[in-house]
Structure 1
Amino acid sequence: MNSSPSKKARAVGINHIALEVADIEAALEFFGSLFELKLRGRHDNMAFIDLGDQFINLSAGRSQGPDTARHFGLVVDDREAVRRAVEATGVKILPSQGLDFLDPWGNHVQVVEYQGIQFTKAPHILRGMAMEGLGKTQEALSELAQKGMVP
């Protein structure tokens, strides 16, 4: 009999997030007004938007009210470009140190810039996304170095 504890699986990352929206076409139009979108595909009442090696699943049928604290974060190459696009849509921008807003269905979206956070895409993924020139701030590199994760 083995007396050692079982090895636990390690979480490696997030493959996708699922957002409930009232209308898939309206959601594609809304998010397409904020970001360059690449539609991965559609199935029944869902649409899949590529984020390189990850994706967002838009699902028809919002079943809850607006989120104020629960949120998801999107990483972008230019947060100020997103801010301008969000302001043009007229959706509610939430008070924060960065950029947080509620989409038309009440999903709380937080937007951060790739350069300033630990989140890192492998060089071949960035190349496939035509974003190979993205770098990291010294602060982000220091945070990665503290964890032994320097490129």
Structure 2
Amino acid sequence: MLSKLVGINHVALEVDSIDAALEFYGRFFELHLRGVAPGMAFIDLGDQFLALSEGREQGPDHGRHFGLVVDDKDAVRAALEAADVAIEPGSRLDFRDPWGNRVEVVDYRDIQFTKTPAVLAGMGLDLDKRDEALAQLRDKGLL
């Protein structure tokens, strides 16, 4: 029997400088550090985390990206625009950080990704899903 994929514990990003990366991402997102180690920082996402690793060894990623789930996608767009960060063309909210990592920003209310009520409460969030996301969850028997 094969093991089932359950979720993603973390994503690791290579950056040139931990301090510069925390400053950059802190302009658009409320950051809570889970921990710091030499050349590493761990940004808490409730029951998951984003790891920043110092020492970029590759060029910008063109197709590869990761998605960050937020409580207010419009606020992120406004903050990116105010900071003159280029937003990738298209209907999604994608941008590149200064190290070439491509980030897609998605709104929690619009996707089937779900946090438990206890995790949301622990994060100080009270979020509801929109109808399309609820339908996706129902279709998969997850609601």
- Given the two structures, how large is their TM-score scaled by the length of structure 2? 0.97
1:67 aligns with 2:61: yes
Is the 1:92–1:103 Cα contact (8 Å) retained in structure 2? no
Corresponding residue for residue 142 of structure 1:
135
Structure 1 stretches (4+) deviating beyond 6 angstroms? Answer: none
Corresponding residue for residue 118 of structure 1:
112
**Which deviates more from structure 2 when the two are superposed, residues 72-81 or residues 89-98?**
89-98
1:27 aligns with 2:21: yes
Alignment of 1:64-103 (within 5 A): 64-103=58-97
- Secondary structure, in 3 states, of the residue corresponding to 1:100? strand
1:36 aligns with 2:30: yes
- Given the two structures, how large is their TM-score scaled by the length of structure 1? 0.92
The CA RMSD measured in Å over matched residues stands at 0.8
The structure with more radius of gyration: 1
C-alpha deviations, 1:86-143, integer Å up to 9, x for none?
Answer: 1222232111212000001100000000001000000000000000x20001111111
Aligned residues: 143
CA distance in 2 between partners of 1:64 and 1:92 (Å): 21
CA distance in 2 between partners of 1:129 and 1:147 (Å): 26
CA distance in 2 between partners of 1:80 and 1:91 (Å): 15
Measured after TM superposition, the shift of residue 65 of structure 1 is 1.1
